[in-house]
Amino acid sequence: MHSITATLSLAAMLIWPLAASAATAPHTPNEWELREECSAAGSQVDMRDCLQQKVRESEKALKDAQATALRAIAGWDEDAKFTRATKEHLAAAGQAFARYRETECAFAASLGGGAIGAALNLRRFACTAALNQKRAQDLSRSVSGLPQR
């Protein structure tokens, strides 16, 4: 009986931070929501400017999340060989994400078919901003529970 209670208590301690962070995590808008939000800006030029601003904001959020992740890994209460390997994996994951984002957003833009280039760019900007924001949120969640020294 004691073993079951201890196991359930341990499971609750491990799951609770994940459930709490998921419950309090802000909504990350997808590319369609971003395009809809920016379409309220007015003209196509205003929409482009709005989406470009969303890209800049998402780039900053991603850069900040990467820096936070590196600090969390550097302060992680773990052997140096594991922190070193984790930093290397983070760098590789960042490079893979950049390649994925480029390809995925080219695909999203191509779904505009024969639309003019400006309309295709709107799709690309919305995709880039959405993926950056999601990656930033995922990075933050990934390192939020690392025990620090």
Query: pLDDT tens across 98-112, in order?
Result: 999 999 999 999 999
The pLDDT value recorded for residue 4 is 54
Residues whose CB falls within 8 Å of the CB of residue 97, separated by 6 or more in sequence, listed in order: 131, 135
Run of H or E including 21: helix 2-24
Average pLDDT (70-98) is: 96
Q: The whole model's pTM is what?
A: 0.81
How high does pLDDT run on average in the chain? 87
Residue 96: count other Cβ atoms within 10 Å of its Cβ.
Answer: 10
If DSSP codes are grouped into helix, strand and coil, which group holds residue 29?
A: coil
Please give the Cα distance from 42 to 44 (Å, whole number).
7
Closest residue by Cα to residue 30 from 139, 114, 104, 141: 104
The pLDDT value recorded for residue 130 is 98
The pLDDT value recorded for residue 42 is 87
In the predicted model, is pLDDT for residue 80 greater than 80? yes
In the predicted model, is pLDDT for residue 14 greater than 70? no
The pLDDT value recorded for residue 9 is 43
Query: pLDDT tens across 20-78, in order?
Result: 445 566 899 999 999 999 999 789 999 999 999 999 999 999 999 999 999 999 999 99
In b/e form, how buried is each residue of 6-37, taking b as 16+ CB within 10 angstroms? eeeeeeeeeeeeeeeeeeeeeebbbbeebbee
In the predicted model, is pLDDT for residue 140 greater than 80? yes
Average pLDDT (109-132) is: 93
